[in-house]
Structure 1
Amino acid sequence: MSVTKYNNLFSIVMLNSIMPLSKSLNKYLAQRIVNKKFNKGDFIITNGTIADRLYIIRKGLVRGFFIHNDNEITTWASVDSEMITSISGFFRKKVALENIQCLEDTYTESLSFDDLQFALKHFPEMEGLYRILLEEYFIEAEYRAFAARIPSAKERFDYYRKIIKPEKLKRLPKKHLASLLNMRPETLSRLELD
């Protein structure tokens, strides 16, 4: 079997573009990956539930957030071709600490924790691929952590514009972008006009 047999699975094509996978791993993933459509406003994961799947967004926009003193605080946003999950929930097989909500109709492909562990144990190239994906995931998290600690709203906004995909800036609703950047929507509006 060739990889082209699995072209209908976005994740397999994407993963093979990062690192060529064996026919047997492609076949395994094709059998285990689950496609799901979420509507705008749906939650992929909610605080307090078990986060047992690792998702790749085929098309869509989602945000991660938590609630503090009745305020929703957006901590990240992801778009097409990005990997998402509740970090502490998925990797520790515990309840999620955050909510992941769709801000657009979102099409995902996902792999369960157990299926991922099986692939890591039985397909050597999966370990290399997993390392590459985790590096990207954590580099993005580091960029967000740096941005959150910049005291000046203007400098924080300028830094964020440098590290984020321009498409994400265009698609993310302003109230969620302002929350992500820890500023009031009015401040964000002024900065966007500069």
Structure 2
Amino acid sequence: MSAPNRLHLNLFILIYLNEIVPLSAELKSFLTNKIKRTVYAKNEIISKEGEICNKLYVIKKGLVRGYCVSDNVDVTTWISFDSEIFTSITGFFKNEPASENIQCLEVTHCEYLEFRDYQYCLKNFPEMREINRIMLVEYYIHAEKRAFMTRIPSAQKRLAYFFKNANPKMTKRIPKKYLASFLAMRPETLSRLFNE
């Protein structure tokens, strides 16, 4: 087996994407040459508001959050963990300055594809266009659930909705202050609800 073929067997993104839609040999070969790996430290900022985030990440192992700062208050807007994709939506897909920050909450092992390579894949590989369509649908489903959750007036019911819709493995790993922020409640309220 040649080195590139051995390499593609070890690329998490290829396994991840191939489970969504089977990848052609040509796309696998292209991605094998373009995908990069990185490891971020706990609390490291991956992307800052105002910067262009030109990478689409898949988390092999780790936990990250998106957040913004409003009136000096840090507001967690999303949380992703193992085997999930993340990026700055405006920063990556529109290639514009990001409207949020992205921070690691654990040591995070990622693989990523840069914007220009992602665009090349969309133009040249039909299966990547299908993957893109499926990922957009999934993103909108998650966004709809987050939007619905933030409109639940009761903190207790928001927490119950979150637990019903979130992966239990992820919920145990999220620091409580970020979970409280994500659920639009004070940390004291979250602590009280956990103790009830």
Any gaps of 5 or more consecutive residues in structure 1?
none
Q: Distance in 1 between matches of 2:88 and 2:147?
A: 16
Task: Output aligned runs, 1:1-194, within 5 Å.
Answer: 5=6, 6-194=8-196
1:96-133 CA distances to partner (integer Å, 9 max, x unpaired)?
A: 11000001000111111110110011111111111111
- Superposition deviation, residue 193 in structure 1: 2.4
Q: Distance in 1 between matches of 2:136 and 2:37?
A: 22
RMSD: 1.6
1:164-185 CA distances to partner (integer Å, 9 max, x unpaired)?
A: 1111110000000000001011
Runs of 4+ aligned structure 1 residues displaced above 6 Å come to: 1-4
Q: Percent identity?
A: 51
Amino acid at match of 2:180: A
Q: Distance in 1 between matches of 2:126 and 2:21?
A: 12
Q: Distance in 2 between matches of 1:167 and 1:35?
A: 24
Question: TM-score when scaled to structure 1?
Answer: 0.96
Q: Distance in 2 between matches of 1:88 and 1:125?
A: 23
Contact 1:86/1:98, CA 8 A, preserved across alignment: yes
SS of aligned partner of 2:46: strand
Contact 1:61/1:103, CA 8 A, preserved across alignment: yes
Question: TM-score when scaled to structure 2?
Answer: 0.95
- Superposition deviation, residue 51 in structure 1: 1.2
SS of aligned partner of 2:79: strand
- Superposition deviation, residue 4 in structure 1: 6.9
Amino acid at match of 2:139: Y
Amino acid at match of 1:176: Y
Any gaps of 5 or more consecutive residues in structure 2?
none
Q: Distance in 2 between matches of 1:61 and 1:138?
A: 21
